Chain A
Amino acid sequence: MIEQQTHELPPRGTTIIEARGVGKSYGSVLALSEVSTTINAGEVTCVLGDNGAGKSTFIKIMAGAHPHTDGVLLIDGEARNLSSPREALDLGIATVFQDLAVVPLMPVWRNFFLGSEPTKGFGPMRRLDVATMKAATRSELIAMGIDLRDVDQPIGTLSGGERQCVAIARAVHFGARVLILDEPTAALGVKQSGVVLKYIAKARDRGLGVVFITHNPHHAYPVGDRFMLLRRGRSMGEFPKDEVSMDDLTSMMAGGTELEALSQELQETLGADSGIVRDMQAELRA
């Protein structure tokens, strides 16, 4: 096995990343403000928010795509301002974006090592170490609990969930300590989402700190250890799992008081006995 693991995984519960009042403004536009959270080894931090809540901005700050403008981002206890994705990767922070960065027509094993292919031989005889690449892909996938029939098949023939998992396994293999997953279940059906959640748990059990970005509390709750809610670019607080229930999460995401105002408005236009108004009020009472 080639030694790609550049970072020792710290003991479970060690804080790897800590955000203190982190914010980002683009000129006069405030995209994100006052976000505080911690990412610990062997734990899953869920970032929840509706469309436009600032989830992408938050990911980009941690992935090194855009540096933050306010607050402090501590990595291993040291204040950092990540200026490139390479810098984030060198610190062991890997991001799996929604498009997964895979090439559909290429075999799984070629995709797995794309951009970081191991070679053997020197000079003009420097060539791909195909045997190692195939074996490592297989063993790394099996370690994640993915049993692919054939690593030679084009990655485009895998299901959405399997592809997501290959991307996760790739990040793990290349030495990630922190795995940022951008809406990994957004485009998937119920069953495939379940499969991906299983791999998130698997990565957590291997000692990685996982940041799970989603707008679906039903996906976040079963695997999350802490939940950070974002709404309109602001943090609504961070809650450990034992302080919050699934219903709390749902109603906070929908935005309690705003939902009330909306139901009031709908009641005026549609009438009190309209179906959607009754549903909404039932949701509010719950």
Chain B
Amino acid sequence: MTATAALPSDERLNSTSRRTRVIRRPEVGAFGAALAVLVFFAVVAEQFLTAEGVGTWLNSASRFGIMAVAVALLMIGGEFDLSAGVMTGATGLFVGVVTTGYGLNIWLAVVVALVVALGIGALNAVIVMRTGLPSFIVTLGTFFVLQGLDLALVKLVYGQVAIQGLRDVPYYGSVQPWFGGSLSIGNARIAVSVLWALLVIALATYILLRTRAGNWIFAVGGAQISARQTGVPVLRTKIGLFMGTAGAGWLVGMISLFQSSTAQSSTGVGDEFIYIICAVVGGCLLTGGYGSAVGAALGALIYGMTRQGVVYAGWDSNWLYVFLGVMLLVAVLINNWIRTKAALAK
């Protein structure tokens, strides 16, 4: 390192202003928006900042956050996964069916569900990479297949579309606290899912910014041909990313299964777009190669706060969708503006 130590310090380095450095970060816009939403609902709904209120919207935000972070990584890697939402339902149903219907050990069922989910994720990736089809189409196919299986198979086994009697399965009590439990902090009840979300955010941020895999994720999304030319294992990276969203789908599937002790065939359907909105609001580019895990988590926080905030404020909850749509458009515009700014600012 002697050669580098002797380098003259460059006086022009200071000319990259602090403002540019801050604005270059993808999550800046989402941070500002999250703050604004927090203040807004704190003013209009008095329940919003109570211990109970915070616990409720954090729980909701955490489940969307886990998914949004995984989807953000995949989007940075240049792909979409529309089967991510239905995966949360499918894994929950799987565990419900094999335990209540076939008497499989519940711990084993949880592990098998993870293996199946990861397998579907890997299959998504291999189909996308081998056929060259857009992942939007391939995972749309997976989405419908899973949704159909959820409805048809569960109906075949139970004659209805929801899982019953999960609480009576042996060892239910030993699994439940890991996914559906909560911690009391003062008079607030914080769901275990919040801890899972924090873990996922930290892990994703570490992978993205400090490992070789992270460098490869940015590269395969930003310029796949260049990545291949420099020796980046493109297929391996994409398989890992799709397995990531599938694995996150499993985690959220387990969380909703053990929080409510039931699962329905419709669980998670339609949520895949909310994950994408959260990621985009958090600064991910739809074209890939740019974004952050923390940003996506902030996007999910905004969604969680708004979802509960609308209820606490006593408004019709359908306004949530209007808000989501407007926020998506604004976020995309702001992202584009920031990107041009970041690219040009010196």
What distance in Å separates the Cβ of B171 from its nearest Cβ neighbour in chain A?
A: 29
- Give the contacts of B207-257 with A (CB-CB under 8 A): 210-212, 214-215, 218-219, 222-223, 225-227, 229-232
Q: Determine whether the beta carbon of B16 is less than 8 Å from that of A115.
A: no
Q: Determine whether the beta carbon of B226 is less than 8 Å from that of A149.
A: no
Assess whether B133 is interfacial by the CB under 8 Å rule.
no
What distance in Å separates the Cβ of A108 from its nearest Cβ neighbour in chain B?
A: 13
> A105 contacts which chain B residues (CB < 8 A)?
218, 222, 289-290
Chain B CB count within 10 A is highest, among A104, A106, A114, A135, for A114
Assess whether A231 is interfacial by the CB under 8 Å rule.
no
Assess whether A278 is interfacial by the CB under 8 Å rule.
no
Bitwise, B331-346 to A at CB < 8 A (1) or not (0) is 0000000000011101
What distance in Å separates the Cβ of A95 from its nearest Cβ neighbour in chain B?
A: 9
Bitwise, B188-215 to A at CB < 8 A (1) or not (0) is 0000000000000000001000111011
Q: Determine whether the beta carbon of B218 is less than 8 Å from that of A128.
A: no
> A152 contacts which chain B residues (CB < 8 A)?
16
| Interface hit among A21-29, A136-144, A264-272 | A136-144
> A138 contacts which chain B residues (CB < 8 A)?
4, 7
Q: Determine whether the beta carbon of B342 is less than 8 Å from that of A154.
A: yes
A149 to B289, CA, bound (A): 23
A117 to B10, CA, bound (A): 25
What distance in Å separates the Cβ of B251 from its nearest Cβ neighbour in chain A?
A: 19
Assess whether B326 is interfacial by the CB under 8 Å rule.
no
A62 to B223, CA, bound (A): 25
Assess whether B156 is interfacial by the CB under 8 Å rule.
no
A84 to B2, CA, bound (A): 36
Closest to A106 in B: B218
Chain B CB count within 10 A is highest, among A101, A110, A130, for A101
Chain A CB count within 10 A is highest, among B1, B2, B13, B215, for B215
Bitwise, A137-170 to B at CB < 8 A (1) or not (0) is 0110010000101101110110000000000000
Assess whether A119 is interfacial by the CB under 8 Å rule.
yes
Assess whether A103 is interfacial by the CB under 8 Å rule.
yes
A101 to B219, CA, bound (A): 10
> B16 contacts which chain A residues (CB < 8 A)?
149-150, 152-153
Instruction: Using A103-B289, A154-B342, A156-B343 as known contacts, say yes or no to A139 and B4 having CB atoms under 8 A apart.
Output: yes
Q: Determine whether the beta carbon of B230 is less than 8 Å from that of A1.
A: no
Report the count of interface residues on A (CB-CB < 8 A).
35
> A113 contacts which chain B residues (CB < 8 A)?
215
Q: Determine whether the beta carbon of B223 is less than 8 Å from that of A117.
A: no
Instruction: Using A1-B3, A115-B230, A138-B7 as known contacts, say yes or no to A106 and B212 having CB atoms under 8 A apart.
Output: no
Assess whether B15 is interfacial by the CB under 8 Å rule.
yes
The listed residue (B13, B206, B211, B230) touching A150 by CB distance below 8 A is B13
Q: Determine whether the beta carbon of A149 is less than 8 Å from that of B15.
A: yes
A71 to B290, CA, bound (A): 47
The listed residue (B12, B215, B342) touching A149 by CB distance below 8 A is B12
> A135 contacts which chain B residues (CB < 8 A)?
1, 4, 7
> B219 contacts which chain A residues (CB < 8 A)?
103, 106, 114-115
The listed residue (B13, B15, B227, B342) touching A115 by CB distance below 8 A is B227
Assess whether A100 is interfacial by the CB under 8 Å rule.
yes
Q: List 15 A-B contacts (CB under 8 A).
A: A101-B225, A103-B219, A103-B223, A105-B289, A106-B215, A115-B219, A115-B231, A115-B232, A127-B206, A128-B212, A128-B214, A149-B10, A150-B16, A152-B16, A156-B343
Interface residues of A (CB under 8 A from B): 1, 97, 99-106, 110, 113-117, 119, 126-128, 130, 132, 135-136, 138-139, 142, 147, 149-150, 152-154, 156-157
Interface residues of B (CB under 8 A from A): 1-4, 7, 10, 12-13, 15-16, 206, 210-212, 214-215, 218-219, 222-223, 225-227, 229-232, 289-290, 342-344, 346
Given A105-B222, A139-B4; 18 other pairs, CB 8 A cutoff: A97-B229, A102-B223, A103-B218, A103-B223, A103-B227, A106-B215, A114-B215, A114-B226, A114-B227, A114-B232, A116-B231, A117-B212, A128-B211, A136-B4, A138-B4, A149-B15, A150-B16, A157-B344
